Structure 1
Amino acid sequence: MLQAVIIFLILGIIITVIFISPILTKQRRNRIKKRSFPALWNAILENNLPIYLQLSPAERQRLRGHIQIFLAEKQFIGCRGLQVTAEMKLTIASVACLLLLNERGEYFPKLRSILVYPSTYFVNQTVAVSDYVITERRDARLGESWTKDQVILSWKQVQEDTQNWRDGRNVVLHEFAHQLDQEDGKADGVPILPHNSDYQMWSRVMTAEFYQLCYHVQQDMRTVIDSYGATNTAEFFAVATETFFEKPQQLLQEHSALYELLKRYYQLDPIQWVEAGSIPNV
């Protein structure tokens, strides 16, 4: 009898997790999306997100809904004495949610907290100098994405990146692209794709583009994709995402296959935003 009760309870938990919980989550998120978006928040987006006014009205509405869910589900923590303001939260959320604009992703499901430092922060890292020698060094960082539950950002860098939207560098886009990559528990430059058949094309295009960047870096050749992308395939995906959103025309011109692949993955075309109007460097 006791065994039957335990089995019944386990089945109930499984049914709740697999079937009922996703339905309740979707309903809750739909209610959040329908909340009114404060006029002050909209003004902050217009001021802090240069691409915002180039979005179509439907895209702006979707972005606002995504932002409200993001703010409701994620925790912001100020570090080194930083008081995280509503402006900081909105700015970070708005850039991160561009990656989800056309329903791409599940609101970074493993992410729980965004840690925000005032500026560059430092971490101690253990490095193997040789087979027998290990040393510790202090590294300066502007952002990190952890596979488990955290993104770490420098607020000063976030500000610089949003004020210089067309330079191809954006720490929020970069770290949250890592979050998409890490949804399956691995940081390998291959996010979860909609169809199994997509992986073959992804591998073919991304591998070719990665090795081309490595070659260009070795030869000290100019490239629209930042050289940091040659570090490994995970960094390549994150850097390519930065380029896709900030330098779409140049990326299409120089790396059309990569552009089309990211366009299909993110289900949007940033070139339309560029053509809709000028994107200022504030």
Structure 2
Amino acid sequence: MLLATPLSDGLRRILKKSMPVFNRLPTEERSRLEGLINRFLSEVKFFGGGDFEVTEEMRVLIAAQACLLIVNQPDRWYKTLETIIVYPSAFKARERTYDGALELEHDSVRAGESWGRGPVVLSWDHAAYGAFIDHDGQNVVLHEFAHQLDDLTGSTDGSPPLARDHRVSDWARAFRASYERLREDAGAGRETFLDPYGATNPAEFFAVATETFFEKPDAMKREEPAVHAELVRYFRLDPAQWR
């Protein structure tokens, strides 16, 4: 029922004002997105970090960006996600690193993080920016929810579950080659098309590639054609058609 229910006029006005891609979606995909947003808002609970108050605008804008990833994937859902925590801006998180056998902990400043089988944590400033500025390849909500899709296999490793007719070998070949090229270029200090943060590990590469695919599809098709083709098959859409 929720999937067939349009958004209220108030929520739709928020998206039309603050998420330009919503206005560019074809009618069928926009209708499907509205239904997914309704389901998302019904099933996922939002909490403010500290004493931050999460508003209706925040909830619908975050939900819309998350659901954009699955607008043409009715068989996929964020089935392990129950909670989103929203901070007003970038937040501190404890990070654990290793130097040989030595374990180190320190604070890092983040715009978002995604926990497998756990919550997504977001900076509202960054989430709102990503919704409105949709052509720079930077979108924290798309990034963190790409991790959520990746984790549906039970392991966040840059290889999300693929459709039966989508060959794992094709995906692995395209992503491995591009990831290794990014690692080499980033390590040498050369300018890269994809955000060099994607060279951190294959999971971050998939999340960075997802941001770029949705926000700079024409450039990605030109610069990373093999990865672009795999993402078109995976997401079952081409954002270039929305421009």
TM-score (structure 1 length as normaliser): 0.83
In the alignment, is residue 49 of structure 1 matched against residue 31 of structure 2? no
Q: Secondary structure at the match of 2:135?
A: helix
Are residue 76 (structure 1) and residue 46 (structure 2) matched? yes
* Deviation for aligned residue 1:150: 0.9
Cα distance between partner residues in 1 of 2:183 and 2:99: 24
2:117 to 148, 162, 176: 148
- Cα 1:126/1:220, change in 2 over 3 Å: closer
Report the counterpart of residue 241 of structure 1 in structure 2: 210
Q: CA deviation at 1:196?
A: 6.9
Residue 101 of structure 1 aligns to which amino acid in structure 2? V
1:159/1:254 CA distance change after superposition, 3 Å: same
Instruction: Map 1:1-282 to 2 at 5 A.
Output: 31-103=1-73, 105-131=75-101, 133-195=102-164, 198-274=167-243
The amino acid of 1:216's aligned partner reads D
Query: C-alpha separation between the residues in 2 aligned to 1:250 and 1:107?
Result: 28
Contact 2:158 2:202 in 1 (8 A): yes
**Given residue 92 of structure 1, which amino acid in structure 2 is its aligned partner?**
I
Query: Aligned partner of 1:122: which letter?
Result: K
Q: Greater helix percent: which structure?
A: 1
Q: Report percent identity of matched pairs.
A: 40
Distance 2:224 2:216 in 1: 11
One-letter amino acid of the structure 1 residue matched with residue 184 of structure 2: Y
Contact 2:6 2:31 (C-alpha < 8 Å) held by counterparts:
no
Post-superposition offset of 1:269? 0.7
Distance, in Å, in 1 between the alignment partners of 2:128 and 2:63 is 13
Q: Give 1 or 2 for the bigger CA radius of gyration.
A: 1
Aligned residues: 243
Q: 1:204 to 1:92 in 2, by over 3 A?
A: same
**Does the Cα contact within 8 Å between 2:5 and 2:34 map onto a contact in 1?**
no
Shift of 1:241: 0.2
- Structure 1 letter corresponding to 2:14: I
Residues 105 and 151 (structure 1), Cα distance of their counterparts in 2 relative to 1, 3 Å cut = farther
- 1:47: Cα distance to partner? 1.0
User: What TM-score do you get using the length of structure 2 for normalisation?
Assistant: 0.95
In the alignment, the residues of structure 2 paired with residue 130 and residue 83 of structure 1 have an alpha-carbon distance, to the nearest angstrom, of: 42
Shift of residue 36, structure 1, vs aligned partner: 4.0
Unaligned regions of 5+ residues in structure 1, if any?
1-30, 275-282
* Structural RMSD (CA): 1.4
